[in-house]
Structure 1
Amino acid sequence: MPEAPDAGETPPAAPPSRRRGDAARRAPVTDDTVTAIESQLRSMRTDAEQHIAHARAEFDHANERLKQRTGRDLIVAILIGVAIGVVVVASLIFVKWLFAFFALGAMVLAVFEFSRALQVSGRRVDVVPQLAAGILLLASGFLAGLWLHWVATLVAVAIVIVWRLTAQMVAADGRSHTAVLADVLVGAFVQLYVPFLTSMALILLAEDGGEWWVLAFLVLAVVADTGAYVSGLTFGRGGRHPMAPRISPKKTWEGFAGACVAALAAGVLLAVFMLGVPWWTGLIFGAVILATATVGDLGESMVKRDLGIKDMSSWLPGHGGVLDRLDSILPSATAALALFYLLSPLGVS
C-alpha cells in the first residue's frame, strides 16, 4: 500500500493539462463567449439551409427538364407505379384471388373515365349498365371458365344495347338515327374494350398456375414500355424517326427498338425462371406481348386523338388516367391467355 504523506510534506503538484482544465472550468462564461457560440450556430444553420436550397433547386431543375421532354412528372409517376406494382405482385404471389378485386377496381375506374370522356364528346353512354355488365363479365371470367364466358359476353353487350335504345325511346328528343346507331356501337365498344379484355386476365388467373402467367405478361408489358421510354429518350430525341406521327408523335422507332430488346430478353428470363417452359418460347412470348402492347398503346392514342384529349383523366398523377395505364395491358391479356394454352404444355417437368 502507498504510504500516506507526512503532515509537514507538500502534496505533489497536479499535471499541467489538469491545471488548464480546472482553470477553464473555473473561468466565467462571459457574454462575448455566448455571442460567439450563437454566431457560429447561426452560420452553420445558414450554410445548411443554403446547401438544402441549392440541392432542391437542382432537383427541381432536373425534374422540370424531364417534364419538358416527357410531358410527365417522372418522379411522381415512378412512385405511383411502384406502389401499384407492389400491390399487384403481392396479390398474385400470396393470394391470387385478391388480384380479381384489383382488376375489378381498375375496370370500374377505366369504364367510368372512358364513358365520361365519350359523354363530353357528345356520345350518349350509360355508365350504370356499363358497370353492371362489366361486373358480370369479370365474375363469369373468373368463376365460369372460357366457354360459358362467351355467353356472358353476349348478355353483357345485349344489356348495354337494349338499355341505350330504351333510354332513347323514353327521351324521344328527335335524335337522328345515325347518332343513335353511333351511341349503340360506342356503348358496345366500351364493353368489349375494357370489361371483356380485363376478363381475359381473370380467365387466365383462374387456371392452375395462371397467376404466374398473369404476372409474366404484366412484367413484359411494363418492361417493354420502360425499354421504349429509355431508348426513346436516349436515341430518339426530337422524334428522329416517329412511328405514327399522326397518332402519337412522341413514339419513335428508336424507342420501339429498345422495347424489342427489353421484351425479348425479359421473355426468355421469365420463361426459364418463372413459367418453367423452354427458353425459346420466351422469345415468342416476348414478341407477341410486345406486338399487342404496342397496338394497344397506339389504339388508345388514336381514340384520345379522336376525342381531342391528352389523357382519359388525371386520377393518376404522372400517368394520366387508369385507362392510360391499361392501354397496353388489355389486349395483351387475350394474347397471354392464348399463349398459355399453346405453350404451357411444353413446361419442363
Structure 2
Amino acid sequence: MAEESDGPAPAPRSGRAQSRRDEFEARAHATADDLRAQFEVRRAQIEATNERIEARAGRNLFAATAIGLGLGALLLLSLMVLKELFMLFAGALVAFTAFELASALRFAGRNVPRLPTVLAAVAAVPVAFYLGADGKWYAALAGIAFVALWRTVELVRPSHRGSAIDFWRDIVGGTLVQVYIPFMAGFAVLLTAQDGGERWVLAFIITVVAADIGAYATGLSFGRHKMAPHISPGKTWEGLAGAVVATQVAGILLTVLLLDRPWWVGVIFGLTMIFTATIGDLTESLIKRDLGIKDISTWLPGHGGFLDRLDSILPSAAGAWVLFYLFG
C-alpha cells in the first residue's frame, strides 16, 4: 500500500495561527490608538478648564493643588513623627520667605540686606522652640537690631549711601521682614514645643487652608461684590462667606475630634482663624500693591511665592497660640 503523506498538513494550522496573531495585533493597535485619542481629548478638556479657572482666579489650579499637597505631606510628617523635624521644616520656610520678601523690598528700592535678614530669621526658630516665649521676644529684638546694624555698617560704602529718609526706610523694611515672618512664624514653633501643641498647629493650619478653599470655590462660583477692590480686587464678600462656613465646619470638627474640646470652642476657633487669615491675606495684598508686584516671587507654581502661601497662616499662628493659652 502507498503511504499517506502528512507533509502539507501543518501549513493550514500555521496560517490560521498567524492570521489570529495579526488580528489580535490589529485590535491591540486600534485599542491603543483609541485610548490615546481619548487621553488627548481629556487632556485638552482639562487644560481648557484650567485656563478658564486661571484666567478668572489668577492661578494655576492643578499646580497649586500639587504644591499644596506636597507641603501638606511634609507638614504632617514633621508634626506627627518628630517635633524637631517641624523646627527644621519651619526654619526652611522662614528662610525662603524672609529672603523673597527682602528681595521684593529691594526691587521696590528699599536696601534691605538679605544675608543678615535670613540669618536672623532662621536663628529665631530654634530659639522659640527651645527657649520658649521669652526667648522668642529676645530673638525678635536681636534680629531687628542685627539687620539694622548691618545696614548701618554698609554706609561706609559709597554705593550703599543715600538720604537720611531712605536709610530709615531701609531700617523699617528690615524690621517689617523680621516682625512679619520669623516673629509670627515663631508662634507656630512655640506652640509645637508644648505638650500636645502639635495637634493645635495641625488644626489651625487645616482650618486656614479650609478658609482658603472655601473662599476660592465660593468666590469663583458666586463672587460678584468686591470686598476690598483697592487692596485686593479678586476678593469678594461671597468668597468671605464661603470661607466663614468652611472655617466653622473645620473648626468644630477639628476641635472635637482632634483637640478633644467642646464644640463651642470650635466655633470660637473657626471665627478666630477666619479673622486672622483675612487680616493676613489683606496685609500681604497691601504690601504687594505698595511694591507694585502681583506675587512676592514665582518659586511656587500656582501660588506665587512662599509668602503668598503663608500670608494667612502667619497671623493665624498668633491667634492659635492665644486660643491654646485660653483653652489648651
* TM more than 0.5: yes
1:175 aligned onto 2:145? no
1:281 aligned onto 2:265? yes
Match of 2:320 in 1: 336
Q: 2:128 aligns with which of 136, 141, 153?
A: 141
Give, in whole Å, the separation in 2 of the partners of 1:261 and 1:32. 65
Match of 2:114 in 1: 127
Structural mapping, 1:160-239, within 5 Å: 160-171=147-158, 174-236=161-223
Could you list the per-position Cα deviations for residues 26-71 of structure 1 after superposition, in whole angstroms to 9, with x for gaps in the alignment?
Answer: 4745999887776655544443332222222222222222222222
Give, in whole Å, the separation in 1 of the partners of 2:215 and 2:46. 24
Give, in whole Å, the separation in 1 of the partners of 2:289 and 2:188. 27
Match of 2:74 in 1: 87
Match of 1:19 in 2: none
Could you list the per-position Cα deviations for residues 264-291 of structure 1 after superposition, in whole angstroms to 9, with x for gaps in the alignment?
Answer: 1211111111112221111111101110
Give, in whole Å, the separation in 2 of the partners of 1:280 and 1:124. 48
Could you list the per-position Cα deviations for residues 112-147 of structure 1 after superposition, in whole angstroms to 9, with x for gaps in the alignment?
Answer: 111111111111011111112112211211110112
Contact 2:155 2:161 (8 Å CA) reproduced:
no
Q: How far is the alpha carbon of 1:111 from its aligned partner?
A: 0.7
Q: How far is the alpha carbon of 1:339 from its aligned partner?
A: 1.0
Match of 1:255 in 2: 239
Match of 2:6 in 1: none
Contact 2:67 2:300 (8 Å CA) reproduced:
yes
Amino acid at match of 1:76: A
Match of 1:268 in 2: 252
Match of 1:327 in 2: 311
Amino acid at match of 1:255: G
Going from structure 1 to structure 2, the CA distance change for 1:26 and 1:73 (only over 3 Å counts) comes to: same
Give, in whole Å, the separation in 2 of the partners of 1:34 and 1:342. 75
Give the TM-score, by structure 1 length: 0.86
Q: Which moved more, 1:294-303 or 1:147-156?
A: 147-156
Match of 2:42 in 1: 55
Amino acid at match of 1:273: L
Q: How far is the alpha carbon of 1:325 from its aligned partner?
A: 0.4
SS of equivalent residue, structure 2 residue 43: helix
SS of equivalent residue, structure 1 residue 118: helix
Tell me the percent identity.
45
The structure with the larger Rg is 1
Q: 1:308 aligns with which of 284, 288, 292?
A: 292
Amino acid at match of 1:191: Q
Give, in whole Å, the separation in 2 of the partners of 1:229 and 1:63. 14
Give the TM-score, by structure 2 length: 0.91
Give, in whole Å, the separation in 2 of the partners of 1:34 and 1:172. 78
Amino acid at match of 1:252: T
Amino acid at match of 1:318: G
Amino acid at match of 1:245: P
Going from structure 1 to structure 2, the CA distance change for 1:175 and 1:95 (only over 3 Å counts) comes to: same
Stretches of structure 2 that go unaligned for 5 or more consecutive residues are: 1-8
| Residue correspondences, number | 320
Match of 1:296 in 2: 280
Q: How far is the alpha carbon of 1:190 from its aligned partner?
A: 0.8
Match of 1:114 in 2: 101
Provide the aligned C-alpha RMSD in A: 2.2
Give, in whole Å, the separation in 1 of the partners of 2:29 and 2:190. 65
Match of 1:242 in 2: 226
Amino acid at match of 1:75: F
Amino acid at match of 1:117: A
Amino acid at match of 1:327: D
